[in-house]
Amino acid sequence: MAASSSRAQVLSLYRRLLKESRSFPSYNYRTYALRRVRDAFRENRSVEDPKALEQLLNKARDSLAIIQRQVSIGKMYETQRTVVEPEPKNL
């Protein structure tokens, strides 16, 4: 019911956040975003309180919007790869 629908919501948000984070052209922003998203979801894995959950979901939604905007900006001003980055696969 309520629990399972929110679980689905959480999972969907999590996937979208990771997918979007992967598109950061900057190596450091990309790795940070991925790491931070994973750690934040892991940290709050056992939150049950619906109010707290709703708050966290809203925060995640805001973050998703920020990441989407910042990825677009990043793509406008792309720069060289850093020395530790692997070569992009599909180029």
User: Which spans of this chain sit near other proteins (rule: CB under 8 A)?
Assistant: 24, 27-29, 31-33, 36, 39, 66-67, 69-70, 73-74, 79-85
Could you give the 3-state DSSP secondary structure of residue 20? helix
Burial class (CB in 10 A: 0-12, 13-18, 19+), 15: exposed
| Residue 4 vs 87, nearer CB to other proteins | 87
| Residue 13 vs 24, nearer CB to other proteins | 24
Cβ 30 to other proteins shortest distance, Å: 10
Which whole-number Å values give the CA distances from 37 to 7, 15, 30, 76, 89, in the listed order?
A: 16, 10, 11, 24, 23
| Residue 2 vs 84, nearer CB to other proteins | 84
Q: Comparing C-alpha atoms, which of 33, 72, 48 is closest to residue 10?
A: 48
